[in-house]
Amino acid sequence: MPIALITGATAGIGAEFARRAAADGFSLVLVARDAERLASTAEALRRRYGVTAETLPADLATEEGIAAVEERLGRGVDLLVNNAGFGLRAGFLDAPVADELRMLRVHCEAVLRLTRAALPYMVGKGRGAVINVSSVAAFFPRGTYSASKAWVVSFSEAAAAEVAGSGVRVMALCPGFVRTEFHQRAGMNVSAIPSFLWLNAERVVDEAMRDLALGRWVSVPTLRYKAIVAVGRFLPRRLISRVSVRLGRR
């Protein structure tokens, strides 16, 4: 039975990836910081889908947490979803530097190291996939969050190119606004976001898995966000940055 390891697996997109993997017959390795919530999520998936669900409590903002997940990946998985992440309410000049560095460790260092830990087994078997969850924010510069997510896209494309032809796929997933706990945890007021921009996690994961099967290196779910990204690529970077900062302040 194939094995899927998913970080940030107890809520939002990560929880939906776990549900989808279980429904598709994967055994699960679920990673998150909250051990109690992790155990509850695993038990619910075992009961509903009859799959094996291993739990691995780990904080990917720490060396110990990353190392623990690296060790598990070294024993082999068939699908890795690097989903763990968070946002900061404050702008770059207002947020504590320690929080900015924690974000870089979770969004960049952990993604790099866990992808690196997973790929040798996959390449050796000639199959497997890595999905690195980025964001539409990667294409619209604003602060460390956007910068870190842009790095995820660039890194994933480079890794995809390196393993091309091996039977292994690497893809960056770039959703827009998704109805999850993400913004609430960050203390962000999103009441002004138009309803048509909101997606649900199930649709995001469905489109991600379709794009992965098609061999795409970058997945932007829904036509509306594909159009937004396409328009953004034609506008001057300085203009995009100014607009992004102003919208963020509001």
What is the rounded CA–CA span in Å between residue 212 and residue 200? 19
Q: Which structure tokens are listed for 246?
A: 């102003």
Question: Which residue, 135, 153, 9, 27, is CA-closest to 79?
Answer: 27
Alpha carbon distance 7, 96 (integer Å): 25
Q: How far apart are CA 88 and CA 92, in angstroms?
A: 9
In the chain the first and final C-alpha atoms are separated, in Å, by 48
**Contact (CB, 8 A) for 197 and 224:** yes
49 is catalytic: no
Which one of 49, 121, 145, 225 is the catalytic residue?
145
Asked if residues 121 and 77 have their Cβ atoms less than 8 Å apart, the reply is yes
The string over 90-126, giving b where at least 16 C-beta atoms fall within 10 Å of a residue's C-beta and e elsewhere, is: eeeeebeeeebebbbbbbbbbbbbbbebbbebbeeee
Q: Catalytic positions, please?
A: 145
